Structure 1
Amino acid sequence: MLFKWLVGSSLCFLLLFSVHANGAELKVGDKAPAFTLDAESAEPVKLADFKGKKLVITFNRANWCPFCMKQITDLQKHYGDIQDAGADLLVVFREEATGAEGLKKIREKTKATMPFALDLEAEKTGAYSPEGFDTYILDEEGTIIAVLEGTKPDRPMGDEILKVLRK
């Protein structure tokens, strides 16, 4: 039991340290850090895949999180409008330990059609949303044009995202 606690505490410390070691949180005007993430298919999802198009990146936990499912359902309702505004949407799950099977459950629950990716423990996207609930909007060149803050129960929804995209 003590060993598990020590390992867990050490991992939390390392995650916090790595976020602070990389500098301040990402902000408007920063170049979005590149990443390559696991996806539902054999092909990974790369930030570079979205170059030339605005991109909305949102972070969620897993299929068991009711707040996550609420946001995904709302984003799906607005997904066509987000695309019409010239953007794509990527949802990154950081606690979906069941991998592709968990993403399949999310799709079944929410009827979502936008791309999903996995980054357990924020290993590759730790510079983004250290708390895990913010949404980033990038321009066509990968520069952050908006950071929409979120909390566990209150995430940025489609209407708020569309206001930024339509400016």
Structure 2
Amino acid sequence: MNILQEGSKAPEFSAKDQNGNTVTLAQFKGKKVVLYFYPKDDTPGCTAEACDFRDNYQGLKAKGIEVLGVSVDDEKSHQKFITKHSLPFTLLADTDKQIVEAYGVWGEKNMYGKKYMGTNRATFVIDEEGNIAHIIKKVDTKNATAQVLELLG
């Protein structure tokens, strides 16, 4: 598993968005990117987090910040999630798990005593040069935007 640190180069990626378009990290050079990883579309915590970014999206855009959500769900699942909750930002379908593994967020989880592999919730703030400026490992799903903005000052 990859252990990334603040200040290191963010791993490049290429993935399909909810509309089947290829998105790469390189496309966002010159902008700050909030790359947030979440376990599953339309589950309570993931919905709270996505809706918090949605509700604060215009303010983030005004500061030159792009928001990208990543889960291992497919494009169709992302489309439903976006439509149901009017999400204005891009969701990436990491069905081959290349991005979650590159960012070190794919790992063992435990629910009700049952162990399984899944995406650990985390947020990476990537600077204009493509370096990891901040990593949030303990995400407050209802206040995810505030956590990001607090780090950016």
Query: Which category describes the TM-score, using the shorter chain as reference length?
Result: 0.7 to 0.9
**More helix by percentage:** 1
Contact 1:59–1:129 (CA under 8 A) maintained in structure 2: no
Three-state SS of the structure 2 residue aligned to 1:101 is helix
Which residue of 1 is the match for residue 71 of structure 2? Answer: 93
Q: How many residues align?
A: 139
Contact 1:62–1:102 (CA under 8 A) maintained in structure 2: no
Equivalent-residue separation in structure 2 for 1:161 and 1:77 (angstroms): 14
Which residue of 1 is the match for residue 117 of structure 2? Answer: none
Which residue of 2 is the match for residue 70 of structure 1? Answer: 48
Q: Does 1:126 align with 2:101?
A: yes
Consecutive unaligned residues of structure 1, counting only runs of 5 or more, are 1-18
Contact 1:35–1:47 (CA under 8 A) maintained in structure 2: yes
Amino acid at match of 2:57: Y
Identity of aligned residues (%): 27
Amino acid at match of 1:91: G
1:33 aligns with one of 11, 31, 38: 11
Q: Cα RMSD (Å) of the superposition?
A: 1.8
Which residue of 1 is the match for residue 39 of structure 2? Answer: 61
Deviations 1:55-111 (A, max 9, x none): 1100112224211011000110111111122211100112x1xx2221121112221
Give the TM-score normalised by the residue count of structure 2: 0.82
Larger Rg: 1
Give the TM-score normalised by the residue count of structure 1: 0.76
Three-state SS of the structure 2 residue aligned to 1:120 is coil
Which residue of 1 is the match for residue 24 of structure 2? Answer: 46
Equivalent-residue separation in structure 2 for 1:92 and 1:81 (angstroms): 21
Q: Does 1:161 align with 2:136?
A: no
Moved over 3 A (4+): none
